[in-house]
Structures are given as C-alpha cells and as structure tokens.
Amino acid sequence: MKLKNKVIVVTGGVRDIGREVSKKLAAEGAKLAINYFGSEDQAASLRTELAAADAQAIILKGDMTAQADVDKLIGSAIDQLGGRVDGLVNVVGGLVQRQTIDEMDEAFFDKVMKLNLNSTFLTVKAAVPHMQEGSSIVNFASQAGRDGGGPGASAYATSKGAVMTFTRAMSKELGPQGIRVNSLCPGMISTSFHDIFTKDNVRSNVANGTPLKREGKPGEVADSVSYLLSDEASFLTGVNLDINGGLLFS
C-alpha cells in the first residue's frame, strides 16, 4: 500500500478514468476526498463500493470552476481526513463539443478553457498551502495538447496544451518546497468521452494505428497516477507523461 494514510484529493473522480483513479488510490491505502459535479448515480455507486472495501473516502459535489466549491472540497479534505493534503489529482475536464473555428464564439472558447485550465489553476492554488515536502500533484493534459487534437477540438487541444505548460511552470515554482507536479497525456482510452465524441471507425483506425493495436484502459491510466503520486516517482517532476500505446512519441 504505497499511498497508505496519504490524504489525496481527486477532482472528477467518479466516472471513467477518474473512477478508476479513485479505486486504485483507495486500494493503495490513501484517504480520499473525491469530487464530482453531474454524475449523481455514479457518485452513489462509488460511495457504496468504497465503503464495502473499508476505504476512507468522502465524496462531494462541486463545480471545480467555482472558487467556493473548490474551497469547500479542499477544506473538507483538511477537516475530515487529517489536516493536510498529500496529493492532488485533477481529472476534471472535457471537450464539451466539437466546433471548428468558424463555428465557435468567444463564450464557447472561454467555457472550454475554464473547464480544463482554470479548474486546474483553482485547485492547485487552494491545495498548495496545505501541502508539505513530499507532496505530489498530477494534472490531466491530453495527447491533443501535443498534436492539436482531432477535427473541431482546437479549443480543447489548446486548453490541454496550457495544462502541460502550467505543469512545467508549477514544477519549477513548487519544487523548492518539495512538491512535485506532473501530468498525464492520455491518448485513445476506452471511456464515455470517446463514446460521445469519437466515431467508431475513427476509434478503430486509431487503435489499429498504435503499436499495441488497441485502445487504452482507464485502469492503466490509474496505475500511472498512483505511481506519480508515490515515493517511487520521487525524482520526477515537470513531466508530461504520454500514455497512448506508442501512437505518439514526445
């Protein structure tokens, strides 16, 4: 249990990749403050699942683009789980909708940036004052942040590229305090994200184009999160780690 008794906050932690992250960290002994926003049923089922596993976890609804909700999440972790934050995982994010540059307006662009970049900024800013030497932050970027994304995903790709740069900047700023900051850049992972936004033939073509000839699994991403949070990754910071089956090399 390489995360035993570590207090870890997970945003967007009840669906798809976030859910697997929460379950993995709980299995590694972490005490969790898990955020969700619109997934009531998934939050209820995860709460039941973690309770059955005797995991110590609180699951709270909140909008991570709203300062008050971010403060409530971090405050609850501090008050209920041990007076500190040892880890932060920013899974919250999304594409929202595929729109080309001629289709999108400023409001849509701002919405995507706020969801993916501002939420990361707000949670990091709120958590850092409660972090000690040896703490770790894992942000979620995307392969789209490296290659510009697919059709109609320019706003999403731009926001995820910004998350990658923010990760590097925070690694330099927080490194002297002993706080590590890394991010993951998932490619084609089998989740509802692609069920909604990616056509079946595109998914098949992408999977067949990877050296491993398949899509990734949410649990495989969760394993990487657990590693980056742990002391096993104690000399890794400022890393934007690709997890795409070899489709794209950074």
User: Hey, which residues are catalytic here?
Assistant: 156
Q: In what order do the strands lie in the sheet with 180-186?
A: 57-61, 31-36, 7-11, 87-90, 136-140, 180-186, 240-243
Query: Hunting for tokens 């991010």 — which residue is that?
Result: 183
3-state SS class at 248? coil
245 Rama sector, left if φ>0, alpha if ψ -120 to 50, beta otherwise? left
Which amino acid belongs to residue 217?
K
Which of 53, 189, 57, 74 is closest to 130 using CA atoms?
A: 74
Alpha helices in 134-212, H assignment, sequence order: 144-147, 154-174, 192-197, 200-209
- Rounded CA gap, 133 and 187, in Å? 31
